[in-house]
């Protein structure tokens, strides 16, 4: 049957990728799963610790809090950028495109240090504010949760822009014209027609940003200065500094399961093609 | 002018378009177009695709500003009044329903915009749903409706706030033939019931003739002729209008002479007498006769009819009518359409006479 052979040919084409993913991710992850049940001794002890250890608990809650704030902030700003990108004048579109694409060329490390140079006690912002006489003591902008949120939001905005812009682009212009023709003001059209028609994109963007944010490591490590440790950094610390491989592995397994559930949710709400705009 | 003022609150409006021009870059989409739209009339804008119909409708609605010219409504200049303040009803090509709102919410939208009370909205929406026959579908989303039902929602939504003018852009082009004819009757009924001024766009000539009180024919951004359906069909201003409104036979004439409102000329040595509808530009002209005005007969008939000799080439059966394809002696091809019931089949290659009443042919200038 032609349909069947076409499907099997597609699987053949995907085979190298599947093999690579299997060797690079699935096999090692199964090893991690095994550690979580066997180190330091076999049993569910590490998972019990996850729910009782106050340090692990506080890191979980901090991670959740930071991710929620970062998601809300990224979505708000991405919405504005996507709006200009999709509906602005041609100059505005070009500028927006530039703002979305340039960050992709700069590594996450460079961007984290860039923000450190802006936000630290002797950074640009504090120096300016002090020399302008607005503040006497430097503001605590970095090496805390605030710095982490700024750095992560900046990194994640472009990822939220694509699904939102895709939803905006698929709105039929005539629907908006129709609303205008019935006498609706621009504000009313925006809130009662335009925004509801982009809900799909917003949900997709929220899930992408949130899932990415959960696994952030470099940005919180640099801008948090060890004082606002997030889950990924905690795993690193457990495995490399206080050799506690079992707990590190158990945290990883829980994180992967949680992300898996979110991704499954995401598939329900948006088509994968929309994520890249 | 206060923002909240809605011009569309009177029942039916009269609109005068004065020398409207619209350019997109160097392209002239509308050229010096003047058109008076009467209070409560059903005016159809008819023309081929790309002739500027939508552009003109968008200018009427206020979505597009004309490059030159003015719009006057009930004596008031409205050229610079934006669409939201003109607030005409509009049915877009493809309906443009709000996809996230139910049928009921779609129809309620213009009333909500006007700040009507909840009770008032409920009553009006209920009335409108019943009027367009959507009972039982109130809570459905547009995607769950058939094309014809979506069309009814679009009509209801455009009429529920009793606009002074209803604009419709090719509303039925996506519907199949039966549904289209049903919706045409529905629109005609809504026009009679509401008494609102309707401006209807189509590229379908039979739809235009069937629905309108007047038809305005567009081509290449120009308004070629405006008139009642019988006027434009039977007395077209030029060859384009004549041919666009339906099939027509064209016989080149020479030595044309004029007598009063009649013209006479020679076709294959026979004298043809016709209505004279336009000023002559030279001695040569074309006789134009609709296929359904001609009959095939065995001998030339009475004195008030023209007749020419032809040979039958073939026939096409359309059920109610049969169309015969013929050629004249000099090779001009001709179509004659006759009620099937009134004729007996004629074999190909038969030599026959084709005749038609003198008052049903008309003269058009020669050349394109
Ligand atoms: N926004 C626009 N920019 C450039 N050209 C346009 C625009 N809108 C319409 N046109 C051109 O104007 C002409 C008339 O278009 P339109 O009014 O849509 O025709 P119709 O509705 O009769 O098919 C077409 O040739 C079209 O390409
Ligand atoms: Mg059009």
Q: For residues B344 and B347, what is the distance between their CA atoms, to the nearest angstrom?
A: 10
Rounded percentage of chain B residues whose pLDDT exceeds 90: 68
**pLDDT value of residue A270:** 62
Answer whether CATH 3.40.50.300 is correct for domain B2-239: yes
Q: Mean pLDDT across chain B, nearest whole number? A: 90
Answer whether CATH 3.40.190.10 is correct for domain B248-365: no
Question: What letters, b where the CB count within 10 A reaches 16 and e where it falls short, cover A215-233?
Answer: ebebbbbbbbeeebbbbbb
Q: Do A183 and B99 touch (CB under 8 A)?
A: no
User: DSSP secondary structure string, A205-218?
Assistant: HHHHHHHHHHT--H
CB atoms closer than 10 angstroms to residue B361: 21
**pLDDT value of residue B10:** 47
Six token digits for residue A237: 């610390």
Nearest to B6 among A183, A188, A199 (CB): A183
Q: Does pLDDT of B14 surpass 90?
A: yes
**pLDDT value of residue B3:** 36
Q: Are A39 and A245 in contact (CB under 8 A)?
A: yes
Which atom, in ligand 1's list, is nearest to the CA of B53?
22
Q: Are A103 and A155 in contact (CB under 8 A)?
A: yes
- Render pLDDT for B263-321 as a digit per residue (tens, 0 to 9): 888 898 888 888 776 666 666 788 889 999 999 988 777 778 899 999 999 999 998 99
Which domains does chain A show, CATH number per domain?
1-38 (no CATH), 53-276 (1.10.3720.10)
CA B146 to chain centre: 26
Closest residue in A to B160 (Cα–Cα): A182
B335 DSSP assignment: E
Residues of A in contact with B87 (CB under 8 A): 181-183
Q: Do B6 and A182 touch (CB under 8 A)?
A: no
Per DSSP, the three-state class of B338 is strand
Domain boundary assignment for chain B: 2-239, 248-365
So what's the ipTM on this one?
Answer: 0.79
Q: Do B99 and A175 touch (CB under 8 A)?
A: yes
User: Among B59-68, B183-192, B275-284, B292-301, where is mean pLDDT lowest?
Assistant: B275-284
Note the helical H segments in chain A.
Answer: 2-21, 27-38, 45-52, 54-87, 90-101, 108-119, 124-131, 145-169, 173-181, 186-189, 199-214, 218-223, 231-240, 245-269
Residue with tokens 């599947």: A18
Q: Does pLDDT of B37 surpass 90?
A: yes
> Which among B21, B22, B24 is the best mutation to test ligand 1's pocket, defined by most ligand atoms within 8 Å of the CB?
B24
Backbone φ and ψ of A106, nearest 5°? -110, 130
Ligand 1: does its nearest atom lie under 6 Å from the Cβ of B51?
Answer: yes
SS3 content of chain B, % helix, strand, coil (to 5): 30, 35, 35
User: DSSP secondary structure string, B226-284?
Assistant: EE-HHHHHHS-SSHHHHHHTS--EEEEEEEEEEETTEEEEEETTEEEEEE--S---SS-
Burial-class residue B256 by CB neighbours within 10 Å (0-12, 13-18, 19+).
buried
Mean pLDDT across the stretch B195-203?
95
**pLDDT value of residue B190:** 92
Terminal CA-CA length for chain A: 35
**pLDDT value of residue A78:** 96
Q: How far is B85 from chain A (nearest CA, A)?
A: 6
The pLDDT tens digits along chain A (277 residues) read 455 677 788 888 888 888 998 888 889 999 999 999 988 888 888 888 888 889 899 999 999 999 999 999 999 999 999 999 999 999 999 999 998 888 888 888 888 889 999 998 888 999 999 999 888 888 888 888 999 999 999 999 999 999 999 999 999 999 999 999 999 999 999 999 999 999 989 998 999 999 999 989 888 988 888 778 899 999 988 888 878 888 999 999 999 999 999 888 877 766 655 555 4
**pLDDT value of residue B7:** 40
Whole-prediction pTM value? 0.82
């Amino acid at each position: 049957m032609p349909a069947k052979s076409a499907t099997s040919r597609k699987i053949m084409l995907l085979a190298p990728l599947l093999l690579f993913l299997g060797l690079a991710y699935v096999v090692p992850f199964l090893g991690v799963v095994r550690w979580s049940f066997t180190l330091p001794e076999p049993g569910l002890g590490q998972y019990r610790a996850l729910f009782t250890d106050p340090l692990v608990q506080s890191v979980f809650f901090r991670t959740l809090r930071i991710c929620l704030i970062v998601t809300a902030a990224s979505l708000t700003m991405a919405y504005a950028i996507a709006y200009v990108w999709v509906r602005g004048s041609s100059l505005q579109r070009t500028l927006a495109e530039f703002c979305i694409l340039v960050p992709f060329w700069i590594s996450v490390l460079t961007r984290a240090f860039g923000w450190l140079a802006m936000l630290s006690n002797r950074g640009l912002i504090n120096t300016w504010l002090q020399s302008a006489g607005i503040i006497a003591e430097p503001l605590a902008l970095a090496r805390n949760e605030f710095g982490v949120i700024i750095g992560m939001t900046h990194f994640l905005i472009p990822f939220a822009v694509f699904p939102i812009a895709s939803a905006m682009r698929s709105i039929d212009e005539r629907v908006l014209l129709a609303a205008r023709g019935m006498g609706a003001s621009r504000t009313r059209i925006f809130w009662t027609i335009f925004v509801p028609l982009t809900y799909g994109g917003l949900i997709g963007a929220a899930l992408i940003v949130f899932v990415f944010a959960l696994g952030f490591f470099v940005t919180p490590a640099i801008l948090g200065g060890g004082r606002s440790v997030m889950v990924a950094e905690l795993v690193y610390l457990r495995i490399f500094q206080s050799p506690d491989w079992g707990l590190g592995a158990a945290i990883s397994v829980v994180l992967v399961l949680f992300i898996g559930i979110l991704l499954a949710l995401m598939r329900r709400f948006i088509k994968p093609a929309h994520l890249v705009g | 002018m206060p923002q909240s003022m809605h011009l569309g609150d009177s029942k039916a409006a009269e609109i005068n378009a004065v020398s409207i021009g619209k350019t997109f870059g160097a392209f002239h989409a509308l050229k010096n177009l003047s058109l008076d739209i009467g209070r409560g009339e059903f005016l159809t804008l008819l023309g081929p695709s790309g002739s500027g119909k939508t552009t003109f409708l968008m200018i009427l609605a206020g979505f597009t500003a004309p490059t030159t010219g003015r719009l006057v409504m009930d004596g008031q200049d409205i050229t610079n009044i934006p669409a939201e303040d003109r607030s005409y009803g509009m049915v877009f090509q493809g309906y443009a329903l709000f996809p996230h709102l139910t049928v009921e919410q779609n129809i309620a939208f213009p009333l909500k915009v006007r700040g009507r009370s909840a009770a008032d909205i409920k009553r009006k929406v209920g009335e409108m749903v019943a009027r367009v026959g959507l009972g039982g579908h109130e809570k459905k989303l547009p995607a769950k409706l058939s094309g014809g039902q979506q069309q009814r929602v679009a009509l209801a939504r455009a009429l529920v706030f009793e606009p002074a003018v209803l604009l419709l852009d090719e509303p039925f082009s996506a519907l199949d033939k039966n549904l289209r004819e049903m919706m045409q009757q529905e629109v005609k009924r809504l026009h009679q019931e509401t008494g609102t001024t309707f401006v209807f766009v189509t590229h379908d000539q039979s739809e235009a003739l069937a629905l309108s009180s007047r038809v305005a024919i567009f081509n290449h951004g120009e308004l070629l002729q405006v008139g009642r359906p019988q006027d434009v069909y039977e007395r077209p201003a030029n060859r384009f209008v004549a041919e666009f409104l339906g099939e027509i036979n064209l016989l080149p004439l020479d030595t044309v002479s004029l007598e009063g409102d009649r013209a006479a000329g020679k076709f294959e040595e026979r004298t043809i007498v016709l209505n004279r509808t336009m000023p002559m530009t030279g001695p040569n002209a074309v006789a134009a006769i609709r296929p359904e005005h001609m009959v095939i007969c065995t001998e030339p008939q009475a004195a008030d009819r023209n007749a020419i000799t032809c040979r039958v080439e073939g026939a096409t059966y359309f059920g109610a009518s049969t169309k015969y394809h013929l050629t004249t002696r000099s090779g001009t091809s001709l179509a004659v359409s006759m009620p099937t019931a009134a004729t007996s089949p004629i074999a190909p290659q038969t030599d026959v006479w084709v005749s038609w009443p003198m008052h049903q042919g008309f003269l058009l200038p020669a050349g394109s």
